[in-house]
Amino acid sequence: MRSMDALDTEIQAAAKKRARAEKAFNDADTELRQLLVRGRAEGKGPSEMARLTGFTREWVAKIAPDPKRARDIAAAKNIAES
């Protein structure tokens, strides 16, 4: 059973490495999403940001929808509910 100790150590090390990589990915993903939302708020279009990021226009538009359109939809809902 002693031979499994080395394997156990390798498995634990790999699991820790994966957890660090996952955290780094999630942190970078959060930062990018916030920047995309900020870009939309400052008037950048999804096509422009897609070229900057390498992601599709559709993905960028989903992550950072047009803030003006969201306001228009909310206003239309308020009018419809009145």
Q: What is the pLDDT of residues 2-56, one digit of tens each?
A: 567 999 999 999 999 999 999 999 999 999 999 999 999 999 999 999 999 999 9
Per-residue pLDDT band for 82 (boundaries 50, 70, 90) equals confident
Q: What is the pLDDT of residue 79?
A: 78
Q: Which long-range contacts (CB under 8 A, 24 or more apart) does 59-68 make?
A: 60/36, 63/33, 63/36, 63/37, 64/33, 64/36, 64/37, 64/39, 64/40, 65/40, 66/40, 67/40, 67/41
